Amino acid sequence: MARRIRARGLAAGRMPAQIAEEIHEACSPQFGTTRIKGHRLSHGIALADVIEQVRALFDRDAKAPPGIGETLLSAYESGLKRPGPEYLHYLCTVYRVEPAALGYDGPCICGHGHRGPAAAAFDVADGAPLSVDTREPRIRQSGDEETPHEGQEDENILRRTLLHLLDSKSSSVKLEGPVLGALEGIRRRMDETLVCATVSPAMLDQWEEVTQAFGRQYTTTAPQRLLCDVALELSAVRNALNRRQPIDLQERLCRMAAQLAGLCGMIMINLGDHRLARSFFRTGRIAADETGDRALRAWVTARESLVPLYYGDAREALNLAKKSRDLAGTVPCAAQAMAPVVEARALAMLSGTDSKKEIVDQAKRAMARARNAFSHIKGDEREDMAFGYTERQLYFYQGDVLTKLGQTLEAEVVLEQALDKYQDHILDQTLIRLDRAQCRLIEGDVTEALQIGTEALKLVGPEYRTEFIMRPALAFEQAVMQRDRNHPGLADYREQLRQEAPANDGKAGA
């Protein structure tokens, strides 16, 4: 049927995009033909032809070969999967259409049009596949004519930022000005939707899978890149929540909103912007309250407690951790283990100002509660670094507590075990190494302490050199100077410490 429609369309001089629409309208009722499949059929090409063109575009842009294959493209065409922003951009380039023509909402991340001359798009004479567009993408400027819907401009800003980050030549961009404004705008509109507030169950299933995938990427993807992806997904969930849904669907949407907002807060901690981190966690709390899920509410609160823990207010961290513990109650969940760990870390930070023995005893009891709670967490949650709580995190935080309490012998054993379990998440690995360096410094071995600290900083790429990492690194420098400000190893450590960091230094949230 598609072949006949294409032949008639070509004979009548119609464009491939018009033919694709006719194929979709004619074939969809009987065969479920999607819009994206209609475009391939309108050009009379096979899956392999499209894949080769996508690979050619990646090669043209000096990018590593893509992971897309015929199976994945077939899943897109059947509606089982949705292409991510990068693959969608290249599929739009191949077919010379916008995302809406392929059946997907929103503009492309590149911010420019994909339509090209008919002669360049398809050679009617020999039925050859589409030619590759060799023009450089043009990022739309603020002066261009545009009438976006509410919130679309914020999404466009993040899409353009994401496109820059996808470029192999760019490891970071400024997280200030328009980008921070776009993040705040998405978060604020989510607040408004939740306070004042039909998607299909299949779409919800897909969104939930994407949300879990973002949690897995949390340990392996640079924070700025992941933030753009997560915030765009949060915006999509907000659009769905903006229309009242059946109660069961509404609850699932609110759960995803809480998880995505909480993940944004976690990323903002890593980027050093504690103000925006707090705002996202507040949004996450509002969404979690809508679900009535105690474990989810406790998770958001436990994650929020890390903001004051890392940025200097141990007492507030302690109060939030206790609140999370109360919310969790007797429900076996990630927060049941995480909350007492934060309690122990906050107590360890206070051990220098209060009665040390009492604080040490309290911190050790909290860690014992954490270990006991961890043993009751469900198996899948014990493998999830973002939405669950893992054994390696437990070891890391236990070692951090022991380091802060000055119990270096036990701390070094635990930290070594933690480091052995980490294969990714450079941020946590760096903090573990700095804790090990601190242990050696407490023991009086300044030389080895500086060697460990210097090697730790050498492993941190510029995209990870945010205030989150630089604060403890600077604190270690100060501790060394109190011991021996003229130590010869201090120069090498300072050289690594002063390596160029990304333009966003975290001060925007100060």
When pLDDT is cut at 50, 70 and 90, the band that residue 171 belongs to is low
Is the overall model pTM greater than 0.95, yes or no? no
Place of tokens 């008639």: 8
For the stretch 289-330, pLDDT in tens is 999 899 999 999 999 999 999 887 899 999 999 999 999 988
What integer pLDDT is reported at residue 179 of this predicted model?
A: 83
Instruction: Please state the rounded mean pLDDT for residues 154-159.
Output: 82
When pLDDT is cut at 50, 70 and 90, the band that residue 200 belongs to is confident
When pLDDT is cut at 50, 70 and 90, the band that residue 462 belongs to is confident
What integer pLDDT is reported at residue 81 of this predicted model?
A: 84
For the stretch 231-254, pLDDT in tens is 999 998 998 888 777 788 889 999
SS3 state of residue 128: strand
Q: Could you tell me which of 190, 187, 188 has the C-alpha nearest to residue 239?
A: 190
What tokens appear for 82 in the block?
Answer: 């949705």
What integer pLDDT is reported at residue 126 of this predicted model?
A: 36
Q: Could you tell me which of 159, 137, 152 has the C-alpha nearest to residue 229?
A: 159
Q: Is the pLDDT of residue 379 over 90?
A: no
- Burial group, residue 258, by CB count within 10 angstroms (0-12, 13-18, 19+): buried
When pLDDT is cut at 50, 70 and 90, the band that residue 373 belongs to is very high
Dist CA 452 CA 412 (whole Å): 13
Give the single-character DSSP code of 61. T
What integer pLDDT is reported at residue 118 of this predicted model?
A: 39
What integer pLDDT is reported at residue 170 of this predicted model?
A: 56
For the stretch 52-95, pLDDT in tens is 999 999 888 888 888 888 888 988 998 888 888 888 888 999 99
When pLDDT is cut at 50, 70 and 90, the band that residue 20 belongs to is very high
Instruction: Please state the rounded mean pLDDT for residues 324-348.
Output: 92
What integer pLDDT is reported at residue 164 of this predicted model?
A: 77
For the stretch 437-448, pLDDT in tens is 999 999 999 999
The angle, 0 to 180 degrees and rounded to 10, between the axes of the packed helices 391-404 and 356-374 is 170
What integer pLDDT is reported at residue 172 of this predicted model?
A: 62
Instruction: Please state the rounded mean pLDDT for residues 103-109.
Output: 81
The overall average pLDDT reported for the chain is 83
What integer pLDDT is reported at residue 135 of this predicted model?
A: 36
For the stretch 23-45, pLDDT in tens is 999 998 888 899 999 999 999 99
What integer pLDDT is reported at residue 218 of this predicted model?
A: 87
Instruction: Please state the rounded mean pLDDT for residues 181-206.
Output: 76
What integer pLDDT is reported at residue 196 of this predicted model?
A: 56
- Burial group, residue 420, by CB count within 10 angstroms (0-12, 13-18, 19+): exposed
Do residues 241 and 408 make contact, with C-beta atoms less than 8 angstroms apart? Answer: no
Q: Is the pLDDT of residue 176 over 90?
A: no
Dist CA 468 CA 452 (whole Å): 19
Q: Is the pLDDT of residue 382 over 60?
A: yes
Share of the chain above pLDDT 90, in %: 43
SS3 state of residue 123: strand
Instruction: Please state the rounded mean pLDDT for residues 395-415.
Output: 91
Dist CA 52 CA 54 (whole Å): 5
Distance from the Cα of residue 490 to its chain's centroid: 35
What tokens appear for 35 in the block?
Answer: 């819009």
What integer pLDDT is reported at residue 143 of this predicted model?
A: 37
Instruction: Please state the rounded mean pLDDT for residues 150-163.
Output: 78
For the stretch 117-131, pLDDT in tens is 433 333 333 333 343
What integer pLDDT is reported at residue 152 of this predicted model?
A: 76
DSSP track, 203-252: HHHHHHHHHHHHHHHTTTS-HHHHHHHHHHHHHHHHHHHTS---HHHHHH
Lowest mean pLDDT among 80-89, 133-142, 150-159, 356-365: 133-142
SS3 state of residue 36: helix
Q: Is the pLDDT of residue 501 over 50?
A: no
Q: Is the pLDDT of residue 199 over 90?
A: no
Instruction: Please state the rounded mean pLDDT for residues 416-421.
Output: 90
Q: Is the pLDDT of residue 115 over 50?
A: yes
Q: Is the pLDDT of residue 461 over 90?
A: no
When pLDDT is cut at 50, 70 and 90, the band that residue 266 belongs to is very high
